[in-house]
Amino acid sequence: MAADALSIIPSAVLRNLSDKLYEKRKNAALEIEGIVKQLATAGEHEKISAVIQLLTHDFTYSPQANHRKGGLIGLAAVTVGLTSEAAQHLEQIVPPVLSSFQDQDSRVRYYACEALYNIAKVVRGDFIIYFNKIFDSLCKLSADSDANVQSAAHLLDRLVKDIVTESDQFSIEEFIPLLRERMNVLNPYVRQFLVGWITVLDSVPDIDMLGFLPDFLDGLFNMLSDSSHEIRQQADAALSEFLQEIKNSPINEFVKLGGEQLVPYYADILGAILPCISDEEEKIRVVARETNEELRAIKADPTEGFDIGAILTIAKRELNSEHEATRIEALHWFSTLLARYRVEFLAYLNDIFDPLLSALSDPSDAVVLLVLEVHACIAEESHHFRDLVSYLIRTFHNNHVLLEKRGALIVRRLCVLLGAEKVYRESSTILESEVDLDFASVMVQALNLILLTSTELGELRSLLKKSLVDSCGKDLFQSLYASWRHSPMATISLCLLAQLLEPGKHTWLLKTLYGLLMLLPQQSAAFKILRTRLKTVPFSENLKRTSSANPYSQILQVTEDGTRNQDTQNYSAINFSSLLQQFENMQQQHRLHLKNQLQSRKSASAVVLSQGWRIRHRPGSKARTVKGPITDASQLPKWNYDGSSTGQAPGEDSEVILYPQAIFKDPFRRGDNILVMCDCYTPQGEPIPTNKRHNAAKIFSHPDVVAEEPWYGIEQEYTLLQKDGPYYCGAGADKAFGRDVVDAHYKACLYAGINISGINGEVMPGQWEFQVGPSVGIAAADQIWVARYILERITEIAGVVLSLDPKPIKGDWNGAGAHTNYSTKTMREPGGYEVIKKAIEKLGKKHAEHIAAYGEGNERRLTGRHETADINTFKWGVANRGASIRVGRDTEKDGKGYFEDRRPASNMDPYVVTSMIADTTLLWKGN
pLDDT classification of 732: cutoffs 50, 70, 90: very low
Name which of 32-46, 358-372, 562-576 the model is least confident about: 562-576
pLDDT classification of 728: cutoffs 50, 70, 90: very low
Name which of 107-116, 256-265, 394-403, 847-856 the model is least confident about: 256-265
CA distance 249 to 289: 10
Please check the confidence at residue 269 and state whether its pLDDT lies above 80.
no
Count CA within 13 A, CB hemisphere, residue 127. Answer: 30
Which pLDDT score, from 0 to 100, does residue 735 have? Answer: 47
Q: How many residues does the chain have?
A: 927
Burial letters 101-131, b for 16+ CB under 10 A, else e: bebeeebbbbbbbbbbbbbbebbeebbbebb
CA distance 52 to 119: 13
Average pLDDT over residues 736-749: 86
SS (H, E, C) 669-697: CCCCCEEEEEEEECCCCCECCCCCHHHHH
DSSP 189-226: HHHHHHHHHHHHHHH-TT---GGGHHHHHHHHHHHTT-
Are 856 and 905 contacting, i.e. CB atoms less than 8 angstroms apart?
Answer: yes
CA distance 181 to 216: 9
Mean pLDDT of the chain: 83
CA distance 340 to 556: 52
Are 672 and 628 contacting, i.e. CB atoms less than 8 angstroms apart?
Answer: yes
- Give all domains of the chain, ordered by start, each with its CATH number: 1-170 (1.25.10.10), 172-272+287-294 (no CATH), 507-549 (no CATH), 603-691 (3.10.20.70), 696-923 (3.30.590.10)
pLDDT digits (tens, 9 = 90+) for 691-712: 999 999 999 999 999 999 999 9
SS (H, E, C) 849-880: HHHHHCCCCHHHCCECCCCCCECCCCCEEECC
Are 452 and 493 contacting, i.e. CB atoms less than 8 angstroms apart?
Answer: yes
Measured CA to CA in angstroms, residue 392 lies from 327, 411, 420, 646 at distances of 21, 10, 15, 30
SS (H, E, C) 326-343: HHHHHHHHHHHHHHHCHH
pLDDT classification of 734: cutoffs 50, 70, 90: very low
Average pLDDT over residues 650-679: 89
Measured CA to CA in angstroms, residue 400 lies from 395, 479, 624 at distances of 8, 25, 15
Which pLDDT score, from 0 to 100, does residue 168 have? Answer: 82
Average pLDDT over residues 639-659: 83
Name which of 89-93, 106-110, 301-305 the model is least confident about: 301-305
- Of the chain, the percentage scoring pLDDT greater than 90 comes to 34
pLDDT digits (tens, 9 = 90+) for 118-175: 998 988 888 888 888 989 999 999 989 899 999 999 999 999 889 888 888 888 888 8
Measured CA to CA in angstroms, residue 729 lies from 64, 761, 817 at distances of 88, 13, 21
The residue type at 908: M
* Helical (H) or strand (E) element with 668: none
CA distance 907 to 905: 5
pLDDT classification of 569: cutoffs 50, 70, 90: very low
Measured CA to CA in angstroms, residue 181 lies from 21, 101, 175, 216 at distances of 41, 20, 10, 9
Measured CA to CA in angstroms, residue 207 lies from 128, 170, 197 at distances of 15, 9, 12
Q: How many CB atoms lie within 10 A of CB 602?
A: 11
Please check the confidence at residue 307 and state whether its pLDDT lies above 60.
yes
Closest of 627, 622, 725, 723 to residue 678, by C-alpha: 622
Name which of 4-8, 443-447, 792-796 the model is least confident about: 4-8
DSSP 697-712: HHHHTSHHHHHH--EE
Name which of 262-266, 292-296, 461-465 the model is least confident about: 262-266
Q: Name the DSSP class of 754.
A: -
pLDDT classification of 505: cutoffs 50, 70, 90: low
Count CA within 13 A, CB hemisphere, residue 914. Answer: 36
Measured CA to CA in angstroms, residue 21 lies from 24, 69, 196, 740, 911 at distances of 6, 11, 36, 89, 60
* Helical (H) or strand (E) element with 437: helix 437-453
Which pLDDT score, from 0 to 100, does residue 429 have? Answer: 93
Are 767 and 761 contacting, i.e. CB atoms less than 8 angstroms apart?
Answer: yes
Are 888 and 667 contacting, i.e. CB atoms less than 8 angstroms apart?
Answer: no
pLDDT digits (tens, 9 = 90+) for 878-910: 988 889 999 999 999 999 999 999 999 999 999
- Quick check: helix, strand or coil at residue 103? coil
CA distance 243 to 232: 17
Q: Is the model more confident about 785 or about 285? A: 785
Are 688 and 681 contacting, i.e. CB atoms less than 8 angstroms apart?
Answer: yes
Measured CA to CA in angstroms, residue 2 lies from 29, 48, 56, 62 at distances of 18, 11, 11, 15
- Of the chain, the percentage scoring pLDDT greater than 70 comes to 86
How many Å is the Cα radius of gyration of the chain? 42
pLDDT digits (tens, 9 = 90+) for 32-57: 889 889 888 888 888 888 888 888 89
Average pLDDT over residues 422-437: 92
Please check the confidence at residue 730 and state whether its pLDDT lies above 50.
no
Asked whether the CA dihedral 7, 13, 15, 20 is positive or negative, the reply is negative
Please check the confidence at residue 300 and state whether its pLDDT lies above 80.
no
Strand partners, 711: 776, 823
CA distance 743 to 749: 10
Are 787 and 780 contacting, i.e. CB atoms less than 8 angstroms apart?
Answer: no
Given strand 639-642, what is the order of strands in its sheet?
618-627, 603-615, 674-681, 655-665, 639-642
Q: Name the DSSP class of 440.
A: H
Q: Where are the alpha helices (DSSP H) in 520-648?
A: 525-535, 541-545, 552-555, 576-600
Please check the confidence at residue 248 and state whether its pLDDT lies above 50.
no
Q: How many CB atoms lie within 10 A of CB 505?
A: 22
Closest of 577, 568, 585 to residue 550, by C-alpha: 577
Classify the phi-psi angles of 249: left when phi > 0, otherwise alpha if psi is within -120 to 50, otherwise beta: left
| pTM beyond cutoff 0.75 | no
pLDDT digits (tens, 9 = 90+) for 52-96: 888 889 899 999 999 999 989 989 888 888 888 888 888 888 999
Measured CA to CA in angstroms, residue 493 lies from 129, 497, 680 at distances of 86, 6, 43
CA distance 776 to 788: 19
Q: How many angstroms from the chain centroid is the CA of residue 845?
A: 40
Which pLDDT score, from 0 to 100, does residue 560 have? Answer: 40
CA distance 157 to 144: 14
Q: How many CB atoms lie within 10 A of CB 91?
A: 11
Average pLDDT over residues 803-821: 88
pLDDT digits (tens, 9 = 90+) for 845-877: 999 999 999 999 999 988 888 889 999 999 999
pLDDT classification of 599: cutoffs 50, 70, 90: low
Closest of 697, 685, 793, 707 to residue 744, by C-alpha: 793
* Helical (H) or strand (E) element with 664: strand 655-665
CA distance 481 to 434: 14
Between the two ends of the chain, the Cα-to-Cα distance in Å is: 65
Q: Name the DSSP class of 883.
A: S
DSSP 806-830: SSSS-SSS---BEEEEEE-HHHHST
